[in-house]
Chain A
Amino acid sequence: MAEEKKIKKPRGIAKLIEGKCIACGARCQSACNKANAIEMNENGEPIIDASKCIGCRKCVKICPAEAIEMYFTPEEQKILDELAAQKTEAAEPETEDLTAEEIEALVKLKAYKGVWVFVEQTEGQPAEVSWELLGTGAELAASLSVELCSVVIGQDVELLCAESFSYGASKVYLMDDPIFKYYRTEPYYKAIHYLIEKYKPEIVLFGATGLGRDLAGAVATKLETGLTADCTGLAIDENGCLLQTRPAFGGNIMATILTERTRPQMSTVRPYVMPMPEKNDTGTGEIIRESMNANEEDFTTKVLEIIRDSKSAETVDVATAQVLVSGGRGMCGAENFQILQELADEIGGVVACSRAVVEAGWMPQERQVGQTGKTVRPNIYIACGISGAIQHLVGMQESDVIIAINQDPKAPIFEVATYGIVGNAMKVIPLITERIRELRAKKAVGG
């Protein structure tokens, strides 16, 4: 692991200074033979395509009239100023010349444009995380001033294109074919690989679901590019690179990871880590229909049957609940979870728990919140007798309001809590339930 943050010197882009060009005969254009960012107008003056310029300064150097200069955005200028201030003693050379290989590498990276989100679906049902990723993708696309696109693969899945537009995509790459009826790693990774090779996006995001991790792993290996799992933060740095922040070592440490030399930059993000964007039903965009030269016979893996878990009244989904009443080791035993259920019933919530509770056999694993359980972001999370081990905190700290009740005033759960009560949860919770009932009764009378 690298330990220090390395600030890279921005290279900037070339810009023509108005009125200084002497139309020398397109020397700048001939110097720009790798990036091909310069075209000449009828007066023999250069037109520089900023989206292609790699900042190699060759045109600046060759210009006999000093008519081209490097342009930096205010943010880039700030970094330059800071770097200059740091390096007063050791006078460094202005900007190092790029080698032929470096120029080639930069030109290659520049060819990749746009942010893509893979829209995951099973039998036509989209995974909600896809829309959360479009929300995040929109921010990334805006900071890069590029398009936000989604990739829809399946059979009879065209409806998901319209849904992609309503969540912010302006373009959808659609591959609709019976070979994609069920998810299988091989046809799916080949399809995405085909699209990426053809359209060259700079960023591709997947949900960190079972399917998404499997698929992204295969695609990244095929492309020999970087893939960062379970990102909790995504942003663009001053060089236009994707900063991927993820928890490591069970959340004890956060790491920021870059994919500098290869494209696309690929990440997976867990469900409910990013907020759901607002849906805009009037959103529209362009659908690009694509097909791959492949037949069912090319794929030897067959899905024989999908057995969905029955969603009976008994099954609960802690990940989607808006209010969670969650118990930890401090609840002392399975029988005391009834106390939590009563409060949950009163405020329309669902009972969840920590890992210790599952390990003790007090609650089933499907209720577990944390690194090895579900990641949740409800409106209200009530932590009862949960000390707040880091592996639990990473699964719930994005909740809007966190209420913590614990006997130990030094418990780490209080560091993330909005409101904290030091006390025995088994005594405090019934009081809360009772008080809420009283308030309800009062309201009913008053109203």
Chain B
Amino acid sequence: MNIVVCIKQVPSTTEVKINSETNTLVREGVESIINPFDTYAIEEGVRLKERFGGKVTILTMGPPQADIALKECIEVGADEGILVSDRAFAGSDTLATSYVLSKAIEKIGDYDLVISGKQTMDGDTGQVGPGIAQRLGIPFVAYVSRVDDISDGKMKAERMIDEGHEVVEAPVPCVMSVSKEINVPRLPSLRGKMKAKSAQLTVWSAQDLGIEDNKVGLAGSPTFVMQIFSPKRERQSEMLEGSSAEQVSALCDKLSEMKVV
């Protein structure tokens, strides 16, 4: 079974500030990591390969240095890594991203399952997974928490819904996003590390994928960030002073006024 796992390299922290003079993001010195939600997708891909045989290909879109993330995936059991990288992709929103990734998956061609994390830590949207499935014209199964079986061209799985769980059956190929309940990602093995060191990664450009210029980057992104700002706090705060007893008494008077007591 051939499995494609889509991942994203994200900043290791969300502690990003705005330079108030230039109104731009301060991102210096922030390390990049594999999006934590994607580590469950990688692990599930490797586990399914171990169960059913086949190959795990990791796919990411990003700058040239995202190759480090691909090598980390090979350390934990993935077979191949493909980096889709091109200046033309800069500024792509989720719609343009799903377009690029689906073009890359079409080029990979022989796949049975596409797996992604449920969302990224930086963008937090969860929109790229369903977007890829829609573009590939295959079903999407969100928030999978357990894969029971894949046989006879069908996958039986359990997925999380807001009210609890749901048991679903979907044909393969399909796209699924996984929730973190699905597994506990393994640590890299020594053998994996050796393999990653010598692994040859594939790099594809916009041209390699036959990408239409007007469908990627800023031109291909219908959403447009008009303004960024630091969150405002508008609440009038009142500090209750005095001894503990006085503070507590003052607070309880307030609670009385609010008819809580």
Whether A associates with B in a native complex is: yes
Identify which of A58-66, A169-177, A285-293, A427-435 touches chain B.
Answer: A427-435
Within 8 A of A (CB), among B155-213: 156, 160-171, 174
A211, B162: Cβ atoms under 8 Å?
Answer: yes
Stretch at the interface among B50-58, B78-86, B250-258: B250-258
What is the total number of residues of chain B having a CB less than 8 Å from a CB of chain A? Answer: 79
Residue of B nearest to A190 (CB): B134
* Cβ contacts under 8 Å, B240 to chain A: 419-421
Q: Is the CB of A210 within 8 A of B231?
A: no
A contact residues around B11 at 8 Å (CB): 249
Contact mask A236-267 → B, CB, 8 Å, 1/0?
00000001000111111111111111100000
**B interface: dominant SS:** mixed
B79 to chain A, nearest CB (A): 28
Complex contact B228–A248 (CB within 8 A): yes
Partner of B164, one of A183, A230, A307: A307
Q: Are A428 and B247 in contact (CB under 8 A)?
A: yes
**Which of A4, A257, A414 contacts B224, CB < 8 Å?**
A257
Provide the residues of chain B in CB contact with A443, threshold 8 Å. 261
Are B244 and A189 closer than 8 Å at their CB atoms? no
Q: How far is the CB of B221 from chain A (nearest CB, A)?
A: 8
Is A252 a contact partner of B16 (Cβ separation < 8 A)? yes
Interface string of A184-198 (1 = CB under 8 A from B): 111001000000000
- List residues of chain A with CB under 8 Å of any chain B CB: 1-6, 122, 125, 127, 182-186, 189, 209-211, 213-218, 220-222, 224-230, 243, 247-262, 300-309, 323, 347, 371, 379-380, 390-391, 393-394, 397, 401-403, 414-423, 427-428, 431-432, 435-436, 439-440, 443
A397 surroundings in chain B (CB, below 8 A): 233, 235
Contact check, A439 vs B256: say whether CB atoms are below 8 A apart.
Answer: yes
Identify A226's interface contact among B22, B93, B126, CB under 8 A. Answer: B93
**Distance between A73 CB and nearest chain B CB, rounded to angstroms:** 21
For the complex, what is the distance from the CA of A209 to the CA of B142, rounded to whole Å?
12
Does B77 have its Cβ within 8 Å of any Cβ on chain A?
no
User: Hey, which chain A residues are within 8 Å of B121, CB to CB?
Assistant: 250
CA distance A224 to B11 in the complex (A): 28
The answer on a CB contact under 8 Å between B252 and A307 is: no
How many Å from the CB of A232 to the closest CB on chain B?
9
Q: List 26 A-B contacts (CB under 8 A).
A: A3-B24, A122-B161, A182-B166, A184-B139, A185-B140, A210-B161, A214-B130, A217-B130, A221-B134, A221-B135, A226-B223, A226-B224, A227-B127, A229-B127, A249-B122, A253-B16, A259-B222, A402-B235, A414-B239, A415-B237, A416-B233, A418-B238, A419-B237, A423-B247, A432-B252, A436-B255
Residue of A380, A403, A420 with most chain B CB atoms under a 10 A cut-off:
A420
Please determine whether B223 and A422 come into contact, CB atoms closer than 8 angstroms: no
Q: For B140, list chain A residues within 8 Å (CB).
A: 185-186, 214, 218
Q: Are A255 and B227 in contact, with the CB atoms below 8 A?
A: yes
Given A252-B230, A257-B223: 17 more A-B contacts, CB < 8 Å: A4-B23, A182-B166, A184-B139, A186-B140, A209-B162, A214-B129, A217-B94, A251-B14, A257-B226, A301-B169, A305-B166, A307-B165, A402-B235, A417-B235, A419-B237, A427-B244, A436-B261
A304 to chain B: which residues have CB within 8 Å? Answer: 156, 167-169
Instruction: Tell me the complex Cα distance, A402–B234, Å.
Output: 13
Q: A301-B141, A305-B166 are in contact. Are A218 and B130 (CB under 8 A)?
A: yes
Query: How far, in angstroms, from A261 to B142 measured CA to CA in the complex?
Result: 29
B56 → chain A, closest Cβ, in Å?
23
Which residues of A are found within 8 Å of B261, using beta-carbon distances?
347, 436, 439-440, 443
User: Does the CB pair A401–B225 fall under 8 Å?
Assistant: no
Q: Is the CB of B248 within 8 A of A431?
A: yes
Residue of A252, A308, A347, A439 contacting most chain B CB atoms (<10 Å): A252
